[in-house]
């Protein structure tokens, strides 16, 4: 799985060359859009939305990605939220994510920028 990320100022598309995968994105204030992307299909992730893709087959999948700019700028959500320096206050994250503070502390301890 590619981590959830955001390309703030560009549109992104993928074409599946081998295998199949799920592709999805989350518009503001709406439910997640998820579609099965088969070999030969093209899927477009709208500009600025958090999106992901996941290989759902038993074998490797190959997808060719295209961006509408040579320098799109990518924001990986988990790295930004859990790997910020200084760290976002864990009480704030616990309330925002509706999880126990211990979960946030654990996630913040995982060195997000180097390992994910």
Q: Binding site for Mn(2+): residue ranges?
A: 51
The verdict on whether omega for the bond into residue 69 sits within 30 degrees of 0, i.e. cis, is no
Binding-site positions = 51
Asked if residue 68 lies in contact with residue 11, where contact means CB atoms within 8 angstroms, the answer is yes
The CB density around residue 24, as the number of other CB atoms within 10 Å, is: 18
- What SS3 state is found at 90? helix
Please report the beta strands in 1-116, taking only residues with DSSP state E, as ranges in sequence order: 5-6, 12-18, 21-26, 33-37, 42-45, 50-55, 62-67, 75-76
């Amino acid at each position: 799985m590619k981590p959830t990320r955001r390309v703030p100022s560009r549109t992104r598309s993928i074409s599946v060359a081998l295998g199949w995968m799920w592709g999805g994105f989350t518009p503001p204030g709406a439910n997640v859009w998820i579609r099965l992307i088969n070999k030969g299909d093209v899927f477009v992730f709208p500009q600025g939305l958090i999106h992901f893709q996941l290989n759902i087959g038993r074998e490797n999948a190959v997808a060719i990605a295209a961006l509408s700019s040579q320098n799109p700028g990518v924001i990986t959500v988990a790295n930004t939220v859990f790997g910020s320096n200084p760290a976002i206050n864990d009480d704030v994250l616990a309330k925002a994510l509706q999880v126990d503070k211990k979960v946030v502390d654990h996630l913040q301890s995982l060195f997000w920028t180097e390992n994910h």
